[in-house]
Structure 1
């Protein structure tokens, strides 16, 4: 959040409206986002969120060697490159042509073996056959930006093989009740946790330019179950000592008191 719009408010936002606004926003933002956060993320590393929990340490995806892996909402493909480097066969997808282009720009200056195939597609309608992948994952991609995240869960389950794993990180639902403020102002509840009205940014003409959607923890569990997935774990990374770099509303002050990220680890039995 906090992208200096003409107006920011809580109001309904339909699925197509949300997708259109966020695709345009990320297309325009891709280069600046990489300039601001590229060093933190690394070009070939997998970081689950602003707390800097790395997959190399967390091992939430399981053994990746020789596995067929899909990253959705991949942005510039940083995680996908890491997966490839440790032996996974990976495809990266994103709704935004700008983010896909940024990923290809990074690949253009890297060693050939570290390049990953990119596909531009919507995480709610994946362009792959059933039972294609052993692992599907996303680090802060897709889930918080769509009105119909239950479709994302269903699509992940569809393209997974039996025994496969779906792992996603997103803003911790608890954060919805607090202002998006890294300072002391972000420690006081201002909204109802149970109010699922989206956060919307719009321009001076009232056109939607950015949307984030909220679901409670219970909502997420029900979405996962309805897709035929089994929830294995919910990881809530603590803010580590020595990490002083804020990211938007995420900060050492808040991160040591309230959770900022939730990582859901699911399995298709």
Structure 2
């Protein structure tokens, strides 16, 4: 039998004996104590907490309090040895199916012969993969060794526990949680229309070669640099500036076909849940319509194209197009499946596959820039991207952004940090409001408006004239 920790045993007893109003906080605290001895499969804290699993299950069955139920769900997710009886209780309760999906994953053991990696946010059941996505996953995972697979499995478990914990923490401190929902979900297999460089040619004067900074000539299915002779492919209205034509292994059409349903997944599941997590928006305080209104009332372009930076699947590009006219908009992102979805829903808007860290536009060529719910996707490059925006804006042009700051609650911050995403391999990285303001100021931009509901940061800035 494993030894137990007296302090953890006392904490478990206090949870069982406490008044209902205090049980939720104690359940979360006990879960945190278990996580503090991470790496000890049968550590003394875990052993002491696990000794009272039957009591937790009894309280869980009897409570009608949502916050306490979420806190117990988070705690019980730490006991894979008791998977069967925890799930027997869970399936008899009126749980959110998404939370039940998270619980099943937290209690699961890794199957090295058939691992399922990287598909847990916002919950495993959200990943309704078609054949193309399954093939992509199989190819991706088959290239990994057993040690790497085990490490990624642990990171996925951290993400699931982090989401259960952050939801419970918010509910215990603030009250009922409203379901996450999206108001604009594209079809799973939306196809962009055929289009060559002519869709981008109207903005040719703004483009610059990412290799040398020379002007680009856009014609047929190519963008050719007049200075260095680099050439970049254009397919279906998407200009790929990440690879030159003729490079070994270059196949833009093949890349276009990868994971075609990613844009659907992002809009239907990832984005609304990410906004709840990062914006502390569990009660739905900020609605998509509020975001629409802010964009429509604050984006004020001068002459030149209007860039949607890190445009994703196009939800906010559509608002931008309605605000300034689709003929003025360029969408830029570094994830090709997102741009495929965007082009399918907005066939009149051209797209560019490129990095935010080196924008492919000349100095003072853009009339305005929008970066909505995106800056946190590349935290290490955020100050560079802001400086690039300032460089490319014409005097008087606006930079309008929505991102997120760290919570003032250290426990909430801990749970958010447990989430692992691309570009966040060490845990979810958000910003401090003052560092964002500092980057904008250093870039020469002036803040004209700012709003901070929850842990959102919404800013409208301008490049001063003169």
Out of 217-226 and 72-81, give the one that drifted further. 72-81
Aligned mate of 2:441, from 225, 230, 234: 225
User: Pairwise mapping of residues 52-63 of structure 1 onto structure 2 (< 5 A)?
Assistant: 52=288, 53-56=290-293, 59-63=296-300
The question of 1:124 aligning with 2:360 is answered no
The question of 1:91 aligning with 2:312 is answered no
The question of 1:80 aligning with 2:317 is answered yes
The question of 1:30 aligning with 2:263 is answered yes
Question: What is the CA–CA distance in structure 1 between the aligned matches of 2:302 and 2:446, rounded to whole Å?
Answer: 23
Other-structure match for 1:44: none
Other-structure match for 1:212: 428
Is the 8 Å Cα contact of residues 376 and 430 (structure 2) preserved in structure 1?
no
The question of 1:234 aligning with 2:453 is answered no
Question: What is the CA–CA distance in structure 1 between the aligned matches of 2:449 and 2:303, rounded to whole Å?
Answer: 24
CA-to-aligned-CA distance 1:168-193 (integer Å, 9 cap, x gap) = 1012x143x44xxxxxxxxxx41679
Is the 8 Å Cα contact of residues 447 and 460 (structure 2) preserved in structure 1?
yes
The question of 1:162 aligning with 2:399 is answered no
Other-structure match for 1:51: 287
Question: What is the CA–CA distance in structure 2 between the aligned matches of 1:122 and 1:103, rounded to whole Å?
Answer: 17
CA-to-aligned-CA distance 1:201-238 (integer Å, 9 cap, x gap) = 279xxx9768632221111111111111112221124x
1:201 is paired with a residue of what secondary structure?
Answer: coil
Question: What is the CA–CA distance in structure 2 between the aligned matches of 1:38 and 1:174, rounded to whole Å?
Answer: 18
- Alpha-carbon distance change, 73 to 212 in structure 1, aligned in 2, over 3 angstroms: farther
The question of 1:267 aligning with 2:462 is answered yes
2:395 is paired with a residue of what secondary structure?
Answer: strand
Other-structure match for 1:151: 384
Aligned mate of 1:70, from 298, 307, 332: 307
Bigger proportion of residues as helix: 2
Is the 8 Å Cα contact of residues 357 and 388 (structure 2) preserved in structure 1?
yes
CA-to-aligned-CA distance 1:63-108 (integer Å, 9 cap, x gap) = 459763110011122322333234431101111011011112323x
The TM-score normalised by the length of structure 2 is: 0.37
- Alpha-carbon distance change, 3 to 87 in structure 1, aligned in 2, over 3 angstroms: closer
2:287 is paired with a residue of what secondary structure?
Answer: coil
Structure 2: where are the runs of 5+ without partners?
A: 1-119, 124-155, 163-258, 274-284
- Alpha-carbon distance change, 266 to 64 in structure 1, aligned in 2, over 3 angstroms: closer
Is the 8 Å Cα contact of residues 7 and 202 (structure 1) preserved in structure 2?
no
Other-structure match for 2:190: none
Question: What is the CA–CA distance in structure 1 between the aligned matches of 2:271 and 2:439, rounded to whole Å?
Answer: 32
Following superposition, the deviation at residue 129 of structure 1 comes to 1.3
Q: How many residues align?
A: 201
- Alpha-carbon distance change, 144 to 75 in structure 1, aligned in 2, over 3 angstroms: closer
Is the 8 Å Cα contact of residues 122 and 269 (structure 2) preserved in structure 1?
no
Question: What is the CA–CA distance in structure 2 between the aligned matches of 1:130 and 1:27, rounded to whole Å?
Answer: 35
Question: What is the CA–CA distance in structure 1 between the aligned matches of 2:373 and 2:442, rounded to whole Å?
Answer: 21
The question of 1:106 aligning with 2:357 is answered no
Question: What is the CA–CA distance in structure 2 between the aligned matches of 1:33 and 1:129, rounded to whole Å?
Answer: 31
Is the 8 Å Cα contact of residues 61 and 135 (structure 1) preserved in structure 2?
no
The TM-score normalised by the length of structure 1 is: 0.61
Question: What is the CA–CA distance in structure 1 between the aligned matches of 2:329 and 2:309, rounded to whole Å?
Answer: 11
Structure 1: where are the runs of 5+ without partners?
A: 11-25, 41-48, 179-188, 238-258
Out of 51-60 and 224-233, give the one that drifted further. 51-60
Q: Which structure's CA Rg is the greater one?
A: 2
2:265 is paired with a residue of what secondary structure?
Answer: helix
Q: Where do 4+ consecutive residues of structure 1 move more than 6 Å?
A: 37-40
Bigger proportion of residues as strand: 1
Other-structure match for 1:241: none
